[in-house]
A and B are shown apart, each in its own frame.
Chain A
Amino acid sequence: MDPAGSSIASFSGEIDFTGKDAFDERLRALDVAETAIVDLTDVTYMDSTALSQLIRLLRRRLDAGKTAPRVVTGSRVARLFRVAGLGEMIPAFETLGEAQTV
């Protein structure tokens, strides 16, 4: 947890359905944080099962009265977020810095 009270989970490499349980486990660490940031900057590939885990995180946090998680998409995952139409529910940022300053 950083001074601003936000929790950051950073990922790298390829995230697909074969690794969704590990992905989910790490997202659950963000369930109760004041501010949750998912850093996907170094993720080179991601499929929609990972998006589903992010949506589950969103639901858990909204149910707990927290804010929506913020996602740093990087260049490779941005397209997935765009076509999935999640921008309204899960705020996406190009850099970690942007995500932290809002």
Chain B
Amino acid sequence: MNSQGRVGSLVGIFAAVVLFAIFTASAIWVLEAIAGNSADQRLLRTAQVERARLLRLQLDEETAIRGYVATVKPQFLPTYYNARRRFGETATRLTKTLDALSIDDRIVREERVVNAEWLAKVATPSLRNPRSSIFLVQLTSKSLVDGFRNLDAQLFTRLTTRSEAADKSATDLITRLLVGSLVLGAVLALVFAAIATAGFRVAAKLQEQRKAFEDEKRVADALQQAFLGRDLPKLPDAVLSGVYAPAGREAKVGGDWYDAFALPDDRILFSIGDVAGHGVEAAVVMSRARQSILTAGIEESDPGAVLARTNRVLRMQDVTMVTAACGFIDTRSGTIAYASAGHPPIVVLLQTREIRQLATGGPPLGIAGSNSYASFQTTIAPQSMLVLYTDGLVEYARDWDAGERRLLEAIRRLDRNGPSPAAALLEAIFRGKAPVDDVAILTICFRSVPHDVRSWKILAIEACVMRRTRAEFSAALRTAQRSDEEVEIGTMILGELLANACEHGELPVEVELLESRGKFTLVVTDAGRGIARPRFRDPTSLRGRGLAIVEALGGAITLSHKPLSRVAVRLPFGSR
């Protein structure tokens, strides 16, 4: 579900919770009201009992006195006295009960008054003289007792009315509670129905989007597979591994690539890059960029120039931004020359498990008119591994630095001799989960890096320095069991390279004799900017003769410049 749907359902759930809380609170209030009501009802019943008892006591008193007057027999008197004793306390209890019910006790006070009057006017005279004026006394008694009955009837009515009112309010409350429940239920049902409908709509929309995305992803994936299907070159001294992982289903396919191409004389042209944007369009731009690098890399030996040419090609086609790194690896001399266009740095894992990140260069391709990309050159220490990657390997973490730290740590732990260090690195970072952005990884592991046989540094252009360098070089070749002819040819080649470096380059000039698997490479480096190799037209021309002679002697030349001018020659020696 997308974030909008998630917010919608959160609001719905929140509303439901609030409604439920309100309902619960009101239900508790209603139940408490009903409970209070039933307490009132109990008091009302008590009041009715006490009211009836009070009337009964008055009637008992009256009946006893009437009997006594009629018969003058003392057995009526206990009933009278008993009733009279209990009248007071019963009236007091009734008053208290009425107080508890907040009902005015005026009627009880009036009943007490009537009772007192009856005692004074009927009971007391009758007890004193039972035979006197019976008729008159009886009339008075009847009138007072009727008054008492009247008051009692009033109280009865009052209590009954109050009881009925309480009953009614309780019924009302229960009715309200029921109606409230029904309303709440209806509202909740509506809320959930609304959420469900919105959810279905969002899900349907997502389904639609996903289908469109998957259609495009299939095409882009097919393109990627077609491009990446080519096998990486196999070389005796370097093992390459690569992996491309398309983004997971939630994101989109991008235009990442890696490439490596074997050039003559054991060199590798490699490239890695990332086209901004996604989908088929990005995959098409990717194919252009990588083809352009390959084409330029076959003709140019300067990686900066390769990127500059690629930039021109991409700019002409008005494409989006592309980050890329490309370069040449010379497995004979164990050196890398590379250039970078806004791409993450190349990582070198040394045999000591130390990590180095190579310097990076210019702006991404396709955005600026800049046609100059710096070339870098460095020697690869024996048993090192180069790791090139696209930023999908780092950007899965929101924090670039944290992602990079984790990546470097994963590289540090890599098994260089595993079947595919690139796949192992991908697994170490994502642990089987699909990355959120495309990822391309290329690793180049140097199985056997050439080791120095000898090296010399030339700090002054003097005949004796040259003579001594040649002599020591010859001696080194002889020590390496090379034949007299090979020593002579090797020394001639050295002489030509020295002449070029000293005459056209800048001091210091360094000479290295490297050996790898019985093959010898002579590398001469100077601090100059290097010159383009002049075309050697015919035997009588004066320029470019040195390298023509080197080639005529059978040496395979690799030239590079920036930042150092460098010539590497595979010496034409037979294998031993």
Instruction: Using known A-B contacts A58-B540, A85-B539, determine if residue A16 contacts B545 with beta carbons closer than 8 Å.
Output: no
Main DSSP-derived SS at the B contact region: helix
Listed stretches B365-373, B388-396, B463-471; interface member: B463-471
Please judge, given known A-B contacts A18-B462, A56-B542, A58-B540, whether A49 and B499 are in contact too, CB under 8 Å: yes
| Contact A89 B540, CB 8 Å, known A16-B463, A52-B545, A84-B545 | yes
Decide yes or no whether B503 CB sits under 8 A from chain A.
Answer: yes
- Residues on the B chain within 8 Å of A14, using CB: 463, 467, 470
Q: Does B496 contact A (CB under 8 A)?
A: yes
Q: Identify which of A49, A76, A84 contacts B539 (C-beta below 8 A).
A: A84
B549 touches A83 (CB 8 A): yes
Asked whether any CB of chain A lies closer than 8 Å to the CB of B136, the reply is: no
Contacts of B498 in A (CB 8 A): 16-17, 47
Asked if A86 lies at the interface with its beta carbon under 8 angstroms from chain B, I say yes
Whole-angstrom distance between the alpha carbons of A24 and B146 in the complex?
A: 166
Interface centre among B462, B488, B498, B549 (most CB of A within 10 A): B549
B470 to chain A, nearest CB (A): 7
B548: which A residues are within 8 A, CB to CB? 84
Interface residue count for B (Cβ, 8 Å)? 25
From 69 to 102 in chain A, residues with beta carbon under 8 angstroms from any chain B beta carbon are 76, 79-80, 83-86, 88-89
The answer, yes or no, to whether B381 is at the interface (CB within 8 Å) is: no
Q: Which residues of B contact A89 (CB under 8 A)?
A: 539-540
Contact with A along B475-499 (1 / 0, CB 8 A): 0000000000000110110011011
Instruction: Give the contacting residue for B492; candidates A18, A55, A80; CB below 8 A.
Output: A80
Q: Which residues of A contact B553 (CB under 8 A)?
A: 83
**Chain A CB within 8 A of B552 CB:** yes
Chain B nearest Cβ from A36, distance in angstroms: 16
Bound Cα distance from A55 to B540, whole angstroms: 6
Chain B residues, CB < 8 A from A33: none
With a cutoff of 8 Å between Cβ atoms, the chain A residues found around residue B470 in the complex are 14, 45
Kindly state whether residue B546 has any CB partner on chain A within 8 Å: yes
The reply to whether B503 and A17 form a contact with Cβ atoms under 8 Å apart is: yes
Main secondary structure of the interface of A (DSSP, over half): helix
- Bound: A55/B503 CA distance, A: 18
Nearest Cβ in chain A — how far from B345, in angstroms? 41
Is the C-beta of B184 less than 8 angstroms from some C-beta in chain A? Answer: no
A17-B502, A83-B549 known; A45-B495 Cβ under 8 A: yes
In the complex, the chain B residue whose C-beta lies closest to that of A47 is B495
Give the bracket for the number of chain A residues in contact with chain B: 20 to 34
Closest to A88 in B: B539
The answer for the CA separation of A89 and B541 in the assembled complex, in Å, is 12
| Residue of B with least CB distance to A46 | B495
Asked if B461 CB lies within 8 Å of chain A CBs, one says yes
A18 proximity list for chain B (CB < 8 A): 461-463, 466
How many pairs of residues, A versus B, come closer than 8 Å at their CB atoms? Answer: 66
Chain B residues within 8 Å of A16, by CB: 463, 466-467, 495, 498-499
Taking CB atoms, residues of chain A closer than 8 Å to B552 are 83-85
A49 to B466, CA, bound (A): 14
A79 near B499: Cβ-Cβ < 8 Å: no
Shortest CB-to-CB span from A8 to chain B, Å, is 23
A19 touching B539 in the complex, CB below 8 Å, given contacts A47-B495, A47-B499, A83-B549: no
A86: which B residues are within 8 A, CB to CB? 539-540
CB distance from A47 to the nearest CB of B (A): 4
B496 near A47: Cβ-Cβ < 8 Å: yes
The complex places the Cα of A34 from the Cα of B503 at a distance, in Å, of 34
Nearest-neighbor residue (CB-CB) of B492 within chain A? A80
Contact with A80, one of B467, B503, B549 (Cβ below 8 angstroms): B549
Is B499 touching A17 in the complex (CB atoms < 8 A)? yes
Please, which residues of chain B bring their CB within 8 A of the CB of A12?
A: none
CB-based contact B539/A47 at 8 Å = no
CB distance from A14 to the nearest CB of B (A): 6
Contact with A along B326-349 (1 / 0, CB 8 A): 000000000000000000000000
- What residues of B have a CB within 8 angstroms of the CB of A76 in the complex? 488
Q: When the two chains form the complex, which single residue of B463, B491, B545 contacts A19, counting CB atoms closer than 8 Å?
A: B463
Q: Which residue of B lies closest to A22 (CB)?
A: B463
Which listed residue, B489, B491, B542, B545, touches A45 by the CB 8 Å rule? B491
CA distance A36 to B461 in the complex (A): 31
On chain A, the residues within 8 Å of B462 by CB distance are 18
Q: Which partner residue on chain A sits nearest B546 by CB separation?
A: A48
Shortest B487–chain A CB gap in Å is 12
Q: Is the CB of B463 within 8 A of A51?
A: no
Q: Which residues of B contact A88 (CB under 8 A)?
A: 539
Bitwise, A4-26 to B at CB < 8 A (1) or not (0) is 00000000001011110000000
- Best-surrounded residue of B488, B489, B498, B542 (most CB of chain A within 10 A): B542
B488: chain A residues within 8 A (beta carbon):
76, 79
Determine the distance from Cα of A80 to Cα of B546 in the docked complex, in whole angstroms. Answer: 11
- Chain A residues, CB < 8 A from B496: 47-48
Which A-chain residue is minimally distant from B470 (CB atoms)? A45
Q: Which residues B491-529 have CB closer than 8 A to chain A?
A: 491-492, 495-496, 498-499, 502-503
Docked pose: A89 CA to B538 CA in angstroms: 11
**Whole-angstrom CA separation of A76 from B488 in the bound complex:** 9
Binding site for A on B (CB under 8 A): 461-463, 466-467, 470, 488-489, 491-492, 495-496, 498-499, 502-503, 539-540, 542, 545-546, 548-549, 552-553
Can you list 29 pairs linking A and B with CB atoms under 8 Å apart? A14-B467, A16-B495, A16-B499, A17-B466, A17-B498, A17-B499, A17-B503, A18-B461, A18-B462, A18-B466, A45-B470, A45-B491, A47-B492, A47-B546, A48-B499, A49-B499, A51-B545, A52-B542, A52-B545, A56-B542, A58-B540, A59-B540, A79-B492, A80-B549, A83-B553, A84-B539, A85-B539, A86-B540, A89-B539
4 closest A-B pairs by beta carbon, nearest first, are: A83-B552, A18-B463, A85-B539, A47-B495
Given contacts A83-B549, A84-B539, 17 further A-B contacts (CB under 8 A): A17-B466, A17-B498, A17-B499, A18-B461, A47-B495, A48-B499, A52-B545, A55-B540, A58-B540, A59-B540, A80-B492, A83-B552, A84-B552, A86-B539, A86-B540, A88-B539, A89-B539
